[in-house]
Amino acid sequence: MVARAEFETEGEQRGWMGGVLRGVVVAVALVAIWQAVILVFAPPPFMLPPPARVWRALVERPDLWRRDAVTTLIETISGLITGSLAGILLALIMTFVPAIRRILMPLLIVTQAFPVFAIAPLLVLWFGFGIGSKIVMATIAIFFPVASAFHDGLTRTEAGLIDLSRLYRAKRWQEILYFRVPDALPALASGLRVAAVYAPVGALIGEWVGASSGLGYAMLMANGRAQTDVVFAALAILAAMAVLVRAAVEILTRRIAPWAPETLR
């Protein structure tokens, strides 16, 4: 057992290092293509700044990653946690009480049909210009993918497990807790991975509508002053943040659902 655990840990480390290496290669390739476009087409800097100028903006504007990036990261992680918990709870409720599912599911679909920018001003009006409205925005952006994926997994439990629960005369809550939930964890892991990508977007949109700090606020101010290099610098930080959050969720989901097929790739 110890040797197997060490082998699995070593395999996870190799997979993590391979993922980091692939990410670095992709980033270098994108920067090379970016620089090639600058050399060939020579666009004005206010339209497409060169990579060196964006790097200089990162160095000369430490507030981007000291203050604004930290604010957006806090909003992203808080929204990811609250949205995931809300989605999990909602999926369990809809599974335990099918009548509630028939009522709530159409309402959830309708709320997802609303453009995010349409409800963002209302959330800022209701929850203020502080961090609260951004967390709510991130929560709204991700709780539906988590709830939908987890509920789908809960309702697609293998027939053999359901027969086994009935053989043991399990009660409804025991069937859900001991049979449906473990079988649905791979679906939940898939929903969490999607949510990890949506969470920074929700926080960013909230900052665009109304904020005093954050990457979205910095991008809005820089765009108004035609500081395209600062906009690109903020986008680079946001991209790195999204990758790190996605990687953290990937590690977490491998722990809670190690038998999921996606974790074997």
CA–CA separation, 45 and 17 (whole Å): 36
The H-assigned helical ranges of the chain are: 2-41, 51-60, 63, 69-96, 98-113, 116-127, 131-155, 159-167, 172-175, 181-209, 215-224, 228-256
What gap in Å lies between CA 255 and CA 124, rounded to an integer? 36
Cα 68 to Cα 59, 77, 131, 240, 246: the distances in Å are 14, 14, 12, 14, 20
pLDDT per residue as tens digits for the range 21-63: 777 788 889 889 999 999 999 888 888 899 999 999 999 888 8
Q: What single DSSP character describes residue 49?
A: -
The residue ranking higher by pLDDT, 10 or 170, is: 170
Residue 252 three-state SS: helix
Asked whether 110 and 101 are in contact (CB, 8 A), the reply is no
Share the mean pLDDT of the chain.
82
pLDDT at 16 over 60: no
pTM of the predicted model, to two decimals? 0.81
pLDDT confidence bin for 4, thresholds 50/70/90 = very low
141-169 pLDDT per residue, tens: 888 889 989 999 888 877 777 777 776 67
User: Which is nearest to 80 in space by CA: 218, 4, 194, 166?
Assistant: 194
Residue 241 has pLDDT above 60, yes or no: yes
